Chain A
Amino acid sequence: MDNYKNNYNNDKIKTDCREKKGDNAISNEKECEKNNLLSTQIGPISLPNPVILASGTCGYGLELIDLIDISSIGAIAVKGLSLLPRVGNPPPRIIETPCGLLNAIGLENVGIDDFLKRLLPIISSYTSRIIINILGDTALDYARLAKIIEENRDDAIIGIEVNISCPNVKEGGIAFGRSSKGAREVTGAVRGETGLPLIVKLSPNVADIVEIASSVQEAGADAVSLINTVLGMAIDIRKRRSRLSNIFGGLSGPCIRPIALRMVWEVTHSLSIPVIGVGGITSWRDAVEFFMAGASAVQVGTATLIEPDTGIQIIKGLERFMIKEGYNSVKDMKI
């Protein structure tokens, strides 16, 4: 079918984007004045507000442009990118569980080259704060990805998020996230290739999250985001088999929030590295819990799939709460 192919009119989109960029630039300036209260610093990364759309739940940003104004979001972390395109796992890939979503997408993505050349110019006309999430099978893959991004530096790329925690692929990903040695190796490899702000996304499927966070800090990470999904499973009792083709999947959504919150607390109360809290945040109240646990920013994931404007609602609610309670920055909220 024609629409499987990809021969659309690129110039037309670019023109539309440029026009749109003009409007956004003006509204961005206003936003900045208004949102000083919400601005946050995650190591070297400055954001006008502390809400980031989590990788894997906002596509490449383009999928959301007619539904929300992505320029008003703190930053977007695009779908994890690998050196070569990946097709992902066979279906079924997702299943709903109580207050949660179990997924085994398998890191389907267009590959770093296609992203940088074709998609980034379009997305960067809608938002100037993009975090590139990268993944690989070996430490060398991660290093090469970092090098490619470094060589194609764009003002809109405000950081690299290293995914060492995806539970849905056989090699790589989680293999590095499960041990301090692996985490340190990948972080060091990426650090060696880029001066861009470096965030490492950690897995909750470990015995001691502080140990892993500490090793990536030593290896040169500027911040950590935690948590990625929790490894889980669901069985179809009639068919007597797993509901996911991959057997196991990553659990996300409100059901994992208490786990995420506890892990954020553990890291912020033991280490100095800035923490981005992720896991089941669906409202500004949830976000406040993470700031009270010491997070410098939050990522919204599964909630965006259900309510695309969740991120924007959180920013609004957070501002109202901070004014009412007299907080001057999100970091003031830490308890």
Chain B
Amino acid sequence: MVYCFYNSLLNHLNDKEREFAVRKDEYCKILINKKIADNIYLMSLRNSRISKEARPGQFVMLALHDLNRASDPLLRRPFSICYAKDDVFYLLYRVSGRGTAIMSTLSPHSDIKVIGPLGNWFSQDISFHILVAGGIGIAPLLFLNARLNKLGLSSALLCGARSKAELIGTSQIKDLLQADDISPDGAAQYVTEDGSKGHKGLVTDYLMELIESNCLPQHPDNKIIIQACGPMPMIRAVRRLLLRSRWGENIRFEASLESVMACGIGLCLGCAVETRYGHIHICKDGPVVNGKKLI
């Protein structure tokens, strides 16, 4: 694997798309920043360029230090784009550390510096998509779900969480965002570890049942892809499940990975992850990677 952001970028794009491959650092106005579930917040930001160019799977780097002109918190934070419409894009985030705690206190109308959209994106050209979300990993998959619905491609959305309190319902987001293209609750499958909503157990157990059952389209021309985002143990469980399943070889697997990042733009090489190709960098070779090649 040879390293060069520009190579992988150009390699990934066709001529028409290449003109969009420009990243910018711009101030965006916060429109909404509200709590929607336990520790889960939704933020909307105005920027027509990012909103128009963003594809499901891509992320942005938010500068939290810029607000008080200080060096703390020092680094920007990466967030997947969870939806984009007109000149507004949305981020769904879980408060898990200092950066996100500060972020949750930001008031609407303040301006925040954003670099984006960054990274690659999920495929949207397969006849049947199975989207597997673990916890806050639902963020990029909501965007993907909306785009697939718009394109008229069939998909199944499986959402896993520890309990009902941490579960993010698609209808809730759909209503908040007034997004016609996101599937309603009824079209998604919910799985909670404690059984407080939907099926009880792990989302990957439910995925296995789905794959092994004959519910999936079996026509040879129909191609199936699993697109997952969530904690690393979930991603690995999906990979193992595909390796074991008799259908595994015919099912593609794309995983959106998460990592601590210093820059998000290919400078620091800090977000390396080991794969069967050697090290790749999540910010520029990902965040969407071939899940079957993970270790």
Contacts and interface: CB of A to CB of B under 8 A. Distances in A.
B176 interface: no
B165 interface: no
B251 interface: no
Contacts of A302: 74, 262
A103 B11 CA distance: 29
A254 interface: yes
B65 A306 contact: yes
A253 B234 CA distance: 34
A108 B3 contact: yes
Given A3-B120, A306-B74, A119 B260 contact: no
Nearest to B3: A110
B270 A94 contact: yes
A155 interface: no
Contacts of B6: 13, 62-63, 65, 122
Given A4-B285, A58-B267, A88-B279, A63 B5 contact: yes
Interface residues of B, number: 51
Contacts, number: 147
B284 to A, nearest CB: 8
Contacts of A305: 75, 262-263, 267-268
Interface string B250-286: 0000000001111101111111111001111000110
Given A95-B260, A308-B265, A1 B74 contact: no
Contact of B267 (A4, A9, A59, A98): A59
B116 to A, nearest CB: 11
Contact of B11 (A8, A94, A253): A8
Interface string B114-127: 01000010000000
Given A4-B1, A92-B260, A57 B272 contact: no
A295 interface: no
A93 interface: yes
A114 B115 CA distance: 29
B73 A96 contact: yes
Given A58-B267, A94-B260, 11 more contacts: A8-B7, A13-B6, A94-B262, A96-B75, A99-B74, A100-B74, A103-B268, A105-B272, A253-B71, A304-B263, A306-B74
**The 7 A-B residue pairs with the shortest CB-CB distance in the complex, in nearest-first order:** A94-B270, A305-B263, A63-B266, A254-B71, A6-B2, A8-B11, A63-B5
11 contacts: A4-B1, A12-B10, A60-B4, A93-B272, A94-B262, A96-B262, A100-B74, A103-B262, A254-B74, A304-B263, A308-B25
